[in-house]
Structure 1
Amino acid sequence: MDAMTGMLLWAAEALTLAFLLIAAWLHNRSHTVMGLWGLGFACHGIGVCLVGLRGIIPDFTSIVLGNELILLGIACWGLGVCVYDGVKVRVWLLVPALLYPIVVCLPQIYPYFWLRSALIQWASAAGYLILAYLLLTGQRPVPYVRRVFALVACCQSLIMINMGVQVLVSKPVAFAQMPNLLMSSVGNIICLLAGLMLGARMLMVKSEERLERAAVTDPLTGVLNRRGFLQRFDIVRQHVASQRTQLALILFDLDNFKQINDQSGHMTGDRVLAEFCATAQSCIGLRGEFGRMGGEEFACVVPIGSRAEAVGLAEAIRLTFMRQQIATEQGTLLSATASAGIAIAGGPIPIILDEMLSRADKALYFAKNAGRNRTALHDGLNISCVTNQRGEDARSGKPLQLNTAISLSHRTAGAQ
């Protein structure tokens, strides 16, 4: 098998892979990584084909355009890794592809086949090293696959560097005189196939992640659904047990939500749900977990140091949400309110999910029956409203001494 035949087979393989990946991307445009990797294989395959047709097509097309497409293909693979990791695109990915056509057209290089050959080998090696760097520094899962993928890219780079050195030493004037060209082509094909399999494994893991995330996420609000919240509850409970602190479970229910849907429309109702979730997540931060239990009912679980901390967090969410102005379908603004029920466990009170849910639910309905838009607490024996609608202590009527979370939420609401 001569060099041209080997390169055309290499090109046919790359183009077949490009067709499969691009077809998968066209079927689901959200798979941007597949589209970029498919484009990379397309550029690579067309470029290798043009290089292999040297002597049949114009030299400039083969020398400059063909090799430039090969470099652009490597850059597309790197761009795909950036998209996969959800990071900003690195502009320096394109440096080898941008510099090559400039340098190869210099009068000191273009007339000499061996100089052009060494240049494309080293430019390609630089592209593969950049790809290996992106794989090793990314934060996505399956690190072992990424490390093997990076090793394959480094092997590909070493093949290119070695070929460039041999070309400089032997100074061939045509493809037929290229040292170890067939072995190099075989090595390139093996690396190409290995990279494809490893990339496919990365895409499979990403798809599995997406499915797992969808299974525990509420599609409307983007927060945890009931299943996801209960899973996270167990994690927080184990952490609290190891730290010997307390755990607060807070249930929220939006007041008169059916009336909002009936009077302002279901789209407005969806906006109210989304606004409440955004408010709650902003107040909770990384301290605990928040999810939608169903309909207009939500839950928060958070480790606490005292009862006042749980009350302060519930009030931070309730009062901040109460001050929000939400656009309706009719172009007007409305305000909505929520009631909260708190159950606390830990210490002498065992942390049992069903019992905490039951106590928090009873406290929530106590707050509803007391007039809505307030917070009630179940202490294990008794239920009482701890705040009124204005956020004051329900017994004394004095302003509640709230924690940092509610102070911050007041400032946030005032700035809107």
Structure 2
Amino acid sequence: MALTMELYGTPASRLDSFVAQWLQPHREQKEELLEAVWTVQKFLREEHFEGDCGLDQKVRVLKVLKVGSFGNGTALRNSLEVDLVVFLSCFHSFQQEAKHHRAILNLMRKKLWYCQDLLALGLEDVEIVQGVPDALVFTIQTRGTEEPITVTIVPAYRALEPSVSNSQPQPEVYVSVIEAHGYPGNFSPSFSELQRNFVKHRPTKLKSLLRLVKHWYLQNVEALDPRGRTLLHLAVSLGHLESARVLLRHKADVTKENREGWTVLHEAVSTGDPEMVYTVLQHRDYHNTSMALEGVPELLQKILEAPDFYVQMKWEFTSWGKPQNPREPPDGHSACDRTKGNRRVETNQQTPAQQDTVLINQHQQFTQAWWVKAKLIHKRPVMWAVGLDMPGL
């Protein structure tokens, strides 16, 4: 907040000095970051990705491109996030990329754990993150200061020839994008060279302006107006779909409520725009799933370490709307018996389960049950339940 007040009190003639003093990364930090990123790039270029992922050839990396703030030279100080686009030899069209994107991510995730150089940098938190498009995300550390760096890798089809990376692509490229019928934004990494070069070769003053905008955004993304609305509330309620996507992509809180109790989803439904509703739902469900799964490893470990136990649960349903699932859920019960290392779960719905994970997996399935009231979609909150098969909307 002190830095924000400092910015508001800075005259226009002094803004360059403000950016240099407060927002530009230190040289030492930048060098350490580049060294860590070079290790990741070395892994990608030297590794031949091959495996059971529906491809009949060895997958080679054609080029690794640094994108985002780190790639175009507008990163903020103490921002240790790196985005890399990886152009692969196995993608010969946008359709092929869409078909094999997830499989390649899984293959890369497995290969990471065999890279000794990355393990030496404290490789951890490796996961495939759902987004537009899906990406491989992990954390490593700088060698000297051991600061955590978040690395995001996105595999992509190299749609642009090297000779046109700084000029306008051929019309056929855009035709092929349209014919691929992908979700909006899924193929944008294929054009990341154009995006990066547009900023990278611009004057320093433009980069300083971008840093100021990013700084302002980080300070105000969750700020509230007099009615308790965030920037995301306003973008959605005014029907600005692209603005909403940008805010969601930069981790604006999709669960916030305004002073009247309206969520971002309520605002989206009120616009009558199905695409806006779908966009908000996609990010909200991803957020809810991420929060729910965050504690799963610890829960599993606790169950493994626990002594023998027996738990029996019972629940009753009282709902004011008809479930989306055509089967009306009956009252249920569940029993879990864990003795001498054997785990067994019995329910009156006869759900088969032989592992501890049933306690969590069934909980995840159950919390995806939906009820409808009027024209608004609600999710019924349930803390713990085992044994029902009610897939989500």
Asked if Structure 1 and Structure 2 have the same fold, meaning a TM-score greater than 0.5 normalized by the shorter chain, the answer is no
Higher helix residue share: 1
When you count strand as a share of all residues, which structure comes out higher?
2
Q: Which has the larger radius of gyration?
A: 1
